[in-house]
A and B are shown apart, each in its own frame.
Chain A
Amino acid sequence: MQVTTKNDRSLWEVIGDYFRANSIWMKWYCTGCGAIEMPPTMTSRFDMEQLGMGPMATPRQADVLLITGYLSTKTLRRVIYSYEQMQDPKYVVGFGSCTLNGGIYYDSYATINQLDQYLPVDLYIAGCMPRPEAIMNSFATLIEMIKKGEARGWKHYQENYDWYKANQMDSLGEVIIHDEFHE
């Protein structure tokens, strides 16, 4: 997504972004097959802790929401729920071609085709699948973006909330989750 608003961080935000970029907690939402690339990225083979990134169990304490793969409409409702539970500042990374343009599920009746219509995506990782090297590379890019104040998707979401909500309603009908296990 093209974030066009100008970069007007206050001094405290600049300082905050600098320190924040070196300590990122990531919540990865394993929606599709992309989840299989995460264990080597997290564990000793590629070791994302060398960048100062760690896994987080709950979206309420996470900084990054990593969407690993295709999103069915059913899953997207839960993802939007999770995203809105996260505290600012928060960043979204779309992983794999499914989040970009639907990937091999481009004509599926159940999966969305373009994630940035519904959530502000700061960074996309192209590929099917992206290798752990690509994920590490994107994390390094994300850290640079946070330091420079370019990862502004969460502000874009606040400023254009009506646009995002309208898109969510068009494709999903409603975001509220109704199912027999939660009622």
Chain B
Amino acid sequence: MTNSTNNWIECLKKETGLEAKEGTASLQYVLDVDKQEAHQTLAYLKRAGFGQLSLLTCIDWIEQGTFQLIFILMHWELGHHLIVRALLDRENPEFTTITDIYPGAAYYEREVYEFFGVHFRGSAVYQKPLFLERWDDMPPLRKDFDPQAYSDGKFPKREHPHVFKANVVEVTE
């Protein structure tokens, strides 16, 4: 694989047909991939110099009915950040684990499973609880989860004798 890292964008386009676009910040690039080709693209990018996985997280696009997995990679020699994005079906969110490419992703996968319910096939540990202890409801960062209702049902509230309301003054001409 190429070590002339200055032109990873051209190599990526030549070898995989994918085109990385410039991001909103300087030295930032964005790459949208299909779910099926995300794994091989990440493996390619790691060999191309993106040795660090800075973040793996998820976005719930509830109106489109999709989850979007976000991988932020960093190139240590060029200082480039690359945001790789892949869309998943919201009804049946499944992805293949990337712990064989970036072993540190195991913790991120556990977090994404816990807060969004995305399944990472091939990982032995992704269902192990990480942050939430004894969680008993739907994954809490999904947009259709109602934190107020959960809090009201679970945690006693203090009764307030006074309700403070803003005094709205109607301005008439």
User: What is the interface of chain A, defined by CB distance below 8 A to chain B?
Assistant: 73-74, 77, 100-102, 106-114, 117, 167, 170-174, 178-180
Pick from B133, B136, B155: contact of A114, CB under 8 Å: B155
Query: Beyond A102-B151, A109-B140, A179-B129: 15 further Cβ-contacts under 8 Å?
Result: A73-B133, A74-B132, A77-B133, A100-B158, A102-B155, A106-B151, A107-B147, A109-B137, A109-B145, A110-B140, A113-B156, A171-B156, A173-B134, A173-B136, A180-B128
- B147-162 interface with A by 8 A CB criterion: 147-148, 150-151, 154-158, 160
What's the Cα separation between A102 and B159 when bound, in Å?
12
Within 8 A of A (CB), among B84-135: 128-129, 131-134
The tally of CB-CB contacts under 8 A between chains A and B is 53
Q: How far is the CB of A106 from chain B (nearest CB, A)?
A: 7
Closest 9 CB pairs of A and B: A107-B148, A109-B147, A101-B158, A173-B134, A109-B150, A113-B155, A109-B140, A114-B158, A112-B155
CB distance from A128 to the nearest CB of B (A): 15
- Given A107-B151, A109-B150, A180-B128, A101 and B157 touching (CB < 8 A)? yes
User: What band does the interface of chain B fall in when counting residues whose beta carbon is under 8 Å from A?
Assistant: 20 to 34
Q: From B134, B136, B137, B157, give the contact of A113 (CB < 8 A).
A: B157
Given B133, B147, B155, which contacts A178 in the complex, CB threshold below 8 Å?
Answer: B133
Q: Which residues of B are at the interface with A, using a C-beta cutoff of 8 A?
A: 128-129, 131-134, 136-137, 140, 145, 147-148, 150-151, 154-158, 160
Query: Are A74 and B131 interface neighbours, CB within 8 A?
Result: yes
Inter-subunit contact A174/B154 (CB<8 Å): no
Closest to A106 in B: B151
In the complex, residue of chain B having the shortest beta-carbon distance to the beta carbon of A115? B158
Knowing A77-B133, A178-B133, A180-B128, the reply to whether A108 touches B156 (Cβ < 8 A) is no
The CA of A100 and the CA of B156, in the complex, are separated in Å by 11
Report Cα–Cα, A173/B134, bound state, in Å: 7
Which A residues touch B137, using CB under 8 A?
A: 109
By a CB distance below 8 angstroms, the chain B residues around A107 are 147-148, 151
Which of B132, B140, B157 is the one whose CB lies under 8 Å from A102?
Answer: B157
Chain A residues with CB under 8 Å of B151's CB are 102, 106-109, 113
**Separation in Å of the B111 CB from the closest CB of chain A?**
14
CB distance from A164 to the nearest CB of B (A): 12
- Find the A residue at minimum CB distance from B134: A173
Complex interface: chain B residues within 8 A of A101 (CB)? 157-158, 160
**Assembly CA distance A146 to B134 (angstroms):** 38
Residue of A nearest to B137 (CB): A109
- B158 to A171, Cβ gap below 8 A? no
* B contact residues around A170 at 8 Å (CB): 154
Contact for B158 among A109, A110, A113, A174, CB less than 8 A = A113
CA of A114 to CA of B157, assembled, Å: 6
